[in-house]
Structure 1
Amino acid sequence: MKVIKYLILFFLPAVTANAQNIMTSSPYSMFGLGEIVTGLYGSNSAMGGVSTGMRDAWLINTENPAGLTGLDTLRLFAETSAFLKSESYRSKSGSSHAFTGNVSAFSLAGRIIPRWYMAAGLTPYSSVGYYFQSTQPLEGSPDSYYTSIFEGYGGLSKVYLTNAFMLTKNLSVGVNVSYIFGNTKLTESQSDISVENRMYTHNFYADFGLQYHRQLNRDASFTVGAVYGYKQRLKLENSIAITYSSNETEQSKKNTTQYLPQYFGVGGSLAYKKWTYALDYSLHQYSCLSSGDSRVKFKDSHELKMGISYFPDGYTSGSYWKRITYKAGVDLSTPYMQINGQTGYSYRVSAGMGLPVMNGRINAAFYYDRTQLKNNVFGREAFGVTVSYTLSELFYKLKL
């Protein structure tokens, strides 16, 4: 327990402090709830992020909370994740490049009593982060120009408590109860005048999962699962701060409404000898979001994830290289944002390894991410790496 206690004391303040920090540099994160954070944490990032039909003795699966019942019953687990990425954005008006990195998630998990498992943690939900300038002619003075600076930061975070129950030997159910909170600041500056729009929101939320797992024989097993999250209203409390010559005045603004979109997904995995194959499909109904700009609209997003892993030797007596898990995956989706009526495609390819270390495992993933809308309205490319460290300690003396 001492090792996990020190891990909590070291990483939890860092995750809490960074929960609202910049995790993106997209100029379009100013719309809606910001850029939705996906694929930046978890031990299955290298497998395309598959989760709905995944379960393992070392997998803290809160994307499908029912998968938590696959954990080793004699261990307490702690996991933290971090990422680094290089992003490039292109549009008809220009291009930009940025480098970002952060601690992205933290979680604790374990069995409470027979058939009851729990997890708790903190993860990002969305992120806002951008900076750009716009130069325009001054009205009435054709040869004069003024420059506006636009910048924003913040986002939403999610604190969750997961409960999973093994109803039978094969069937498990689970629920995530979450508290969604966060604030964003969007600023427009001209000369010595600055207008800052501040927004804050918070609400409770829940999503649900189901898994059926069956051992076919000594070398093969399969798992199928489903997840569901309902549409949740978010009230954004708005205020405007106007700064002129170092003097600031603040005034309230009419509250606005956004939503956490409804979603559902199905998936499955097949483990055969040293190989695991997984496939997920999900639909997120982002069309309920409002951008506040007639040029930008949100639409429902379909997503297909495929992953594969290879584990040469599951015995601790084997050589170190045979105890490494090799992983790869693909994530295909339709972008949830439509700009000037143009849609497009989005995909991510990833590969990585799970490395055994003392009292735990390190899962590292390298990925390439691309989103492209038609007619070159918008394009995004990202190269990145995610690292998750899962630490476990035997807890058998206190198990019931």
Structure 2
Amino acid sequence: MPRLTQVLIAGALLLVQGSLYAQNIFSSPYSVYGVGMINNRTSSLNRSMGGVGIAVQDDYNLNPVNPASYGAISSPITHIYEIGLYVESNRYLTTSKAESKSTGGITNINYWFKFSKWWSASAGLAPYSSVGYKINTQRELGAASNVNYTYDGSGNLNQLYLGNSFNVVKNLSLGVNLSYIFGSITKNESIDIPSQSSVLTFENQVVARKVHADFGLQYRINLKNRALVVGLVADNGIKFNGSQKSTLYDENADTLTSDNGDKLKYKLPASYGVGLALHSKRSIIAADLKFEKWSSASFSDQELTFEDSWKFALGYLYKGNPNAESYLGLASLRAGFYTQNYPIKLDGTSFLTWGLSAGVSLPVFDGKSSINLTYSYDRLGTTSNNLILQNSQKIMVDVVIRDLWGIRRKFD
């Protein structure tokens, strides 16, 4: 799929048109690159706190960002079930055009349980990457002018994961997430030459069947009335294979020639993160710093300039009062912020992506379970050099069901 960088730089006929796919967790013209927009494995706790979680330990909520945290959920909780839904509104801008689109779907399905006092586990299904775009533009091709180019892509790679956390010694826990990544992504590039009454179509397809692992560690330092948790996560990166097919059609859509073309390879970077979190009886304040070695990434069908990426996230959680006599006193409040440099340079342009979020956890069923409401705003891209600026707003609703023994909360 040649000249993909120019697609975002052209700015001629903007942009993301046609239907956006409801199964996609993130629809973006920037998903034209590689295997699309990479989605972090999260729960409602992480999403409402700006994505932090490397050093977060919560007694009542699942934290898939660091598998070492699973053991922090303790008795009387025996099981946790979580499912999340979202609606998303996207606005796309260039220096001369604007367009808006909406989508929605499932964010994740998570289930937590314990094998023993020292061994906890979590299983779930979540998106790994998403592709959703349709872009039209016109350019010259040799002696031909006003050649119509259409780029469209759709599909998802999903991950079915099983995470394990082991309390090795007092205050030290280790964790591993084993993931099975599966799904398919299809990208098409069509070149319509009116003067020749023919259409050349390139189809790229990625079909994934991969087993992957990432790791985590947490160490808790107990202070007088608080605790400081240090967390580490590591992911060695992953490779995907794909195939390219090219087909030449005439003006009647009859196939003139067809070629299966070359095999495609996508190499995604290794990443490493460190986190600090200060825990008190009623609150958590946490910060994460994550490094992604994008300079070692490669997409065989796209000539791109990668640069290493750093992500910083800061989050706050007020747990509420479990002994409160009023309903509002039981509610948990959350907020967070993140910023990251985008790992691909487009026409020599670098830019930051950032976002913020806030949420509330409302107890139901006598305080045993909760409905979590989260709002997030994300900003990706820039209008410099005729690139595309994307503003996204999401509203997420997560239902968390907990099995608790021996606790009965009362409120007016």
Normalising by structure 2, we get a TM-score of: 0.82
Task: State the secondary structure of the residue aligned to 1:43.
Answer: helix
Correspondence for 1:393: 403
Instruction: Mark the CA change 1:80 to 1:226 in structure 2 (over 3 Å): closer, same or farther.
Output: same
Q: Shift of the alpha carbon at 1:106?
A: 0.7
Contact 1:355 1:361 in 2 (8 A): yes
Question: Residue type of the partner of 2:329?
Answer: K
For the Cα contact (< 8 Å) 2:373–2:398, is it kept in 1? yes
Q: CA deviation at 1:93?
A: 6.9
Specify the alignment match of 1:335 in structure 2.
Answer: 342
Matches within 5 A, 1:164-313: 164-189=165-190, 190=192, 193=199, 194-217=201-224, 219-240=225-246, 245=252, 251-291=259-299, 292-294=301-303, 296-313=304-321
Give CA-to-partner distance per residue, 1:169-212, whole Å, 9 cap, x none: 21100001111222111123448845433222322111100011
- 1:83-122 equivalence runs, <5 A: 83-91=86-94, 94-122=97-125
Q: For residues 138 and 333 of structure 1, do their structure 2 counterparts lie closer, same or farther at Cα, with a shift above 3 Å needed?
A: closer
Partner of 1:321 in structure 2?
A: 328
Q: Deviations over 1:3-55 (max 9, x none)?
A: xxxxxxxxxxxxxxx99933333222111121122487532211111100011
| Counterpart-to-counterpart distance in 2, 1:188 and 1:19 | 18
SS of residue in 2 equivalent to 1:47: coil
Distance (whole Å) between structure 1 residues aligned to residue 35 and residue 96 of structure 2: 24
Cα distance in 2 for residues equivalent to 1:284 and 1:204: 20
More deviation, 37-46/322-331? 37-46
Structure 1 residues not aligned, in runs of 5+: 1-17
One-letter amino acid matched to 1:286: W
Partner AA of 2:203 in structure 1: E
Contact (CA 8 Å) 1:343, 1:374: kept in 2 or not? no
The farther-off stretch of 348-357 and 253-262 is 253-262
> What is the aligned partner in structure 1 of residue 162 from structure 2?
161
- Does the 8 Å contact 1:344/1:374 carry over to 2? no
- Calculate percent identity across the aligned residue pairs: 29
What amino acid is aligned across from residue 62 of structure 1 in structure 2?
A: P
Instruction: Give me the whole-angstrom Cα distance separating, in 1, the residues matched to 2:73 and 2:336.
Output: 23
Correspondence for 1:357:
364
Q: Which amino acid aligns with 1:390?
A: V
Task: Within 5 Å, give how 1:68-87 maps onto structure 2.
Answer: 68-73=70-75, 74-87=77-90
With normalisation by structure 1, the TM-score equals: 0.84
Q: What SS is found at the alignment partner of 2:295?
A: helix
C-alpha distance after superposition, 1:249-294 (max 9, x if no partner): 8653321211231011010211234222111110012233335444
Q: Hey, what's the Cα distance between the residues in 2 that align with 1:86 and 1:53?
A: 31
Q: Which amino acid aligns with 1:344?
A: F
Distance in 1 (alpha carbons) for counterparts of 2:177 and 2:41: 19
Tell me how far 1:95 sits from its aligned partner: 3.8
CA spacing shift, 1:41–1:250, aligned 2, 3 Å: farther
| Equivalent-residue separation in structure 1 for 2:350 and 2:85 (angstroms) | 31
**Is 1:127 aligned to residue 130 of structure 2?**
yes
**Following TM superposition, by how much is the alpha carbon of 1:99 offset from its aligned partner in structure 2, in angstroms?**
1.1
- AA aligned to 1:362 is I
1:116-151 per-position Cα deviation (integer Å, ceiling 9, x unaligned): 111111111111100122234687676xx4533321
* Counterpart among 25, 28, 36 of residue 27 in structure 2: 25
Contact map agreement 2:23 2:104 (CA 8 A) in 1 = no
Q: How large is the RMSD of aligned CA atoms in angstroms?
A: 2.8
What is the DSSP-based 3-state SS (H/G/I as helix, E as strand, rest coil) of the residue aligned with 1:234?
strand
Q: Do 1:39 and 1:45's aligned partners in 2 also have CA atoms closer than 8 Å?
A: no
8 Å contact 1:39–1:49 — kept in the other structure? Answer: no
> Measured at CA, do residues 250 and 114 of structure 1 come closer, stay the same or move farther in structure 2, by a change above 3 Å?
farther
User: Deviation string for 1:49-105 (max 9, x for gaps)?
Assistant: 110001112222221000000113441111111222211223357443221211021
1:40–1:82: 8 Å Cα contact kept in structure 2? no
Q: Which amino acid aligns with 2:71?
A: T
**Paired residue type of 1:155:** N
Deviation at 1:344, TM superposition (A): 1.4
Aligned residue for 1:29, secondary structure, equals helix
Larger displacement relative to structure 2 (158-167 or 270-279): 270-279
Aligned to 1:381: 391
